[in-house]
Structures are given as structure tokens and as C-alpha cells.
Amino acid sequence: MAVGKFRGDPAQEPPRRASFGPGVHRAHGYTGGGVARGRARPSVPSIPSVPPPRPPSAAVLGQSVTPQAVSPNRTRSRSTDGGLAALDSSFRPESSRSSGRGRRHRRKDRRRSAVAFFLVIAVFALLALFGWWGYGKIRDFLDPPDYAGSGIGAVSVKVNDGDSISEIGNTLARTDVVKSAAAFVDAAENDDRSQKLQPGTYQLRKKMSAAAALHLLLSPQSRITGRFTAREGLSVIGTLKVISENTGISLDNLKEAAKDPASLGIPEWAKGNLEGFLFPNTYDVDASVSAHEALSRMVKQSLTVLNQLNFTQRAQQLGFEPYQVLTIASLAEMEGIPSDFGKIARVVYNRLAADMPLQFDSTTQYWLELNGIGRKKDRLSDDALRAEKNNYSTTVNRGLPPTAISNPSKAALEAALEPSPGDWLYFAATSQDGRSSFTKSPAEHERNVAVCRSKKLGC
């Protein structure tokens, strides 16, 4: 056995063994209490003890570990490797838990951000909605009522010569073309073209915006240049004038077309007479329509109404020719108001039956018109009533006049076909509203005539 020797200074203490924890000794020194004296004993190398693994809880709990001197050989390597492994294994679970908590926090943050974003959008949407609602209320309060859009249906509106913008607006509002006259006035004031508005009849729509209505009034396509109204009681001459004035058709062309009644479609029983067949109504014709076409359309309308009344057959049942009954209808039209048509027709039939002259001033008025003199508003003179040339005088001549004296309405035609029952022979206007008093007594009739003259009703 080799004897151990001290290295270095001979006076240096012999090597001591040190305790590193329970049962662990160091080869180059010790920390024990005594020092060996006398002859040195041989040193027997001891097997270094491997320290037991420290529990992971010490690292986890953060307990301090007292560093110990280790052998520069195997013992140090083992101790170091084991400690790192223990530290690594002890810290790994804590790192995983921290990473999981971080991901959860990030997800919560994202959810909070999304909720906040949608809340902001909702707030702005509500503000926009209330702003729009408030603007509409303020606009309705400040602006005049007005429809929106181009309207519905169709309606004709007449703009009279000399109408102001306000008057036109009132007409449009009254016919429900615009919602208010003020809205139309505003639209016209904001459009310089409104100064070019022309009188006439226009085809518009109901419930239009004021701007849309103004646009149509300024459009030539909306103007109805071929509309005319032939009122009840007009003669052929009077009707031709109305057509010419409202359509632009030459009056001469109309008179020329009227000379050939057969080509216009009158029935054979009319015996070539156009009077009584230009049916009173409102007509819309194209601007390019001819005089012949305009008159033919009126005759066609008259025949339609006569057929509806079964006129020809019913006239024959009365014992009269159809044109005679049509003439009686024209007399009733000119002598009274619709509520008296039936009684007036009855007076005509009664006087014809008694072979009495009708003594109607209206027949002489018609004759004056035929001769270019025109109808008189005042009481006719005896000279006019008894003029030798006056073949329409029913004061002198018995029976019916040569032709009808007007274009009768449907109400007058019905009255002639079905006169009111009564024995009256006389009548005279006695009321301001046009009503007449009827009697069969000459004396009573004279009293009624006195009332008519006192009220200046044309007797």
C-alpha cells in the first residue's frame, strides 16, 4: 500500500475530510472537530456518496440550496446534471400553465374588442336614425305639404287665360294633382320656365309632386289641343264654332263637312238633317283630326245613345216618326229645365193633338241664328215672331218646325219618348231657377205670364 504524502509545504496540515451532507465526504479535507497527530496514516480513497435527489417542491417553492464543493471529477458531473434535470422538470409545468392563461386572456380581450366595436356601430346607427327622423319632421314643418313621385291615374286640368301661379296651384290642389297649392307655387318660383306656362287643357296625373306637375304643364305632349265640350241645347252652327275655337279646325272646313250629313253617318229617317245629331258631350280629338272626322264622331255618339233608348221603335209606338220625336226633344231642351222636360213634351203632344200652334219663341230664335242674326236674350217682337219668311215661326204656323232646333240631351230624348201625364196646354216660367207653371186654363196662363214678366224671366 502506498504511503500518502503531503503536497506542498511540509508544515501544511494534513488533509481533512469534509462532510457534504449526511454521509458525504470530500477527499481533500474535512470539517470535523479534531486533527490527527503523530504518524500519518495512509489515506484510503473513499467512494463518494451520490446525494439523494432533492424533492422538486424545494425548487418549486423557491427554497435556496446551499452550494457545496464538489469533486472536479465524476461527482461534480453527476451532481450538476441531476440538479439541472430536476430544475428543468420542476419549472416545465408552471411554464405550461402560464402559457394557457395567456391564451385565455387574449381570447377574452378579442371578445371585448368585438363587443365594443358593435356597440359603437349601434350607437352611430341610432344617431343616424334619429337624425333622419328629426330632419323629416323639421322639413315637414317648414316645407308645404307635397306628394312624392310622378302620380297615378289621369285627370284633365284647364288653365285659363290670365291665371296666376297661385290660381293654377289652387286648381291643381282642388283636383288632387298636387297636395297643396303652396308646394306648386314653390316649385314654380324655383323654375324660370314657369313663366312660359300657357292656357289650355292638360292631361295630368293625380297625387303628383309639385315639380312633376310643373314639368307636365310645360310639356307640349301633355296639352290636349283637341278637347271641346258641346253643351246641351247648342245648334249645329253653335257647335261648329265651339269645335273650331278649341281644336284649331277651320270653321269653313267644318261648315263644308256639315253640308253632307249622310257622309257623317246620320240615319235615313233623319231625312238629311244634321240638326239634333251632334250629341252634347266632351270630346278629345287629336290635333291632326279633320273636320269630317270630328263631326262623324259626334254623330256616332248620338246614334249610340238613341240605340240605348230604343228610340226608333218607341217613337213609332207613340204614333210619330223618329225625327219628329227628336224635334220635340229639342224643343223641350230649349224651353225649360230638365225637371220640366216631361211636362213641356206633354204640352207639345197635347197642342198638336188639338191642332193648336205651339207658340214657342225658341223656334224663332233658331231661325234668327240660321240667318246670321243670332239668338236674342230679350223678348222677341211680334214682327220677328210673325215674319213672313220665318218658316220656323210656331206662332203663325201649326205643327212642328221644319227641323230640330238644337242638339238635345239624353234627358230631353227620354222626356220626348215618355212625357209626363197631364192635360196642360200652357206654361210660363215663374221662378228664378227656371221652373215653369203649367195649366190648361187660358186665364190662369195669363196670370202666370204676368208673373213671368214682373220677374223679367223672358215672357
What is 331-361 written as a DSSP string? HHHHHS-GGGHHHHHHHHHHHHHTT-----H
Average pLDDT, rounded, for the chain: 81
429, 343 in Cβ contact below 8 A? no
SS3 157: strand
Report the half-sphere exposure of 62 (CA within 13 A, side-chain side). Answer: 1
Per residue in 44-92, pLDDT (tens digit) is 444 455 555 555 444 443 444 444 444 444 444 444 444 444 444 444 5
Tens of pLDDT along the chain (459 residues)?
Answer: 343 444 444 444 444 444 444 443 444 444 444 434 444 444 444 445 555 555 544 444 344 444 444 444 444 444 444 444 444 444 455 555 555 556 666 666 677 777 777 788 888 888 887 777 765 556 555 678 999 999 999 998 988 878 999 999 999 999 999 999 999 999 999 999 999 998 878 899 999 999 999 999 999 889 877 789 999 999 999 999 999 988 889 999 999 999 999 999 999 999 999 999 999 999 988 767 899 999 999 999 999 999 999 999 999 999 999 999 999 999 999 999 999 999 999 999 999 999 999 999 999 999 999 998 888 777 788 888 888 889 999 999 999 999 999 999 999 999 999 999 999 999 999 999 999 999 999 999 999 999 999 998 878
Backbone angles phi, psi at 185, to 5 degrees: -60, -45
Residues contacting 274, CB < 8 A, separation 6+ = 236, 258, 261, 264, 266, 295, 299
Closest CA to 361 of 259, 435, 429: 429
Report the half-sphere exposure of 113 (CA within 13 A, side-chain side). Answer: 6
Query: Looking at the chain, how many residues does it have?
Result: 459
Give me the pLDDT at residue 113, please: 75
Residues contacting 190, CB < 8 A, separation 6+ = none
Residues contacting 162, CB < 8 A, separation 6+ = 199
Give me the pLDDT at residue 112, please: 74
Backbone angles phi, psi at 50, to 5 degrees: -80, 120
Domain 152-222: CATH class, spelled out: alpha beta
User: Strands 227-230, 200-206: parallel, antiparallel or unpaired by DSSP?
Assistant: unpaired
What is the C-alpha separation between 21 and 52, in angstroms, rounded? 10
Alpha helices in 190-266 (DSSP H): 210-217, 236-247, 251-258, 261-264
C-alpha cell at 106: 387574449
Q: Which amino acid is at 236?
A: V
C-alpha cell at 264: 257623317
Exposure string of 288-321, with b = 16+ CB inside 10 Å and e = fewer, is ebebbebbbbbbebbbebbeebebbebbeebebe
Give me the pLDDT at residue 276, please: 98
Residues contacting 342, CB < 8 A, separation 6+ = 415, 418, 419, 420
Give me the pLDDT at residue 53, please: 54
Neighbours of 171 (CB within 10 A): 18
What is the C-alpha separation between 262 and 274, in angstroms, rounded? 8
169, 185 in Cβ contact below 8 A? yes
Give me the pLDDT at residue 63, please: 45
How many angstroms separate the first and last alpha carbons of the chain?
181
Per residue in 326-359, pLDDT (tens digit) is 999 999 999 999 999 999 999 999 999 999 999 9
The reported pTM is: 0.57
DSSP letter at 371? T
DSSP letter string, 379-424: PPPHHHHT-TT-TT-TTTS-S--SS-SS---HHHHHHHHSPPP---
Give me the pLDDT at residue 104, please: 61
Give me the pLDDT at residue 97, please: 54
DSSP letter at 65? -
User: Measured between alpha carbons, how far is residue 429 from residues 25, 319, 329, 338, 375 in Å?
Assistant: 157, 29, 18, 13, 19
Neighbours of 382 (CB within 10 A): 8
Residues contacting 453, CB < 8 A, separation 6+ = 459
User: Measured between alpha carbons, how far is residue 277 from residues 83, 241, 303, 327, 413 in Å?
Assistant: 130, 16, 8, 11, 12
Give me the pLDDT at residue 383, please: 84
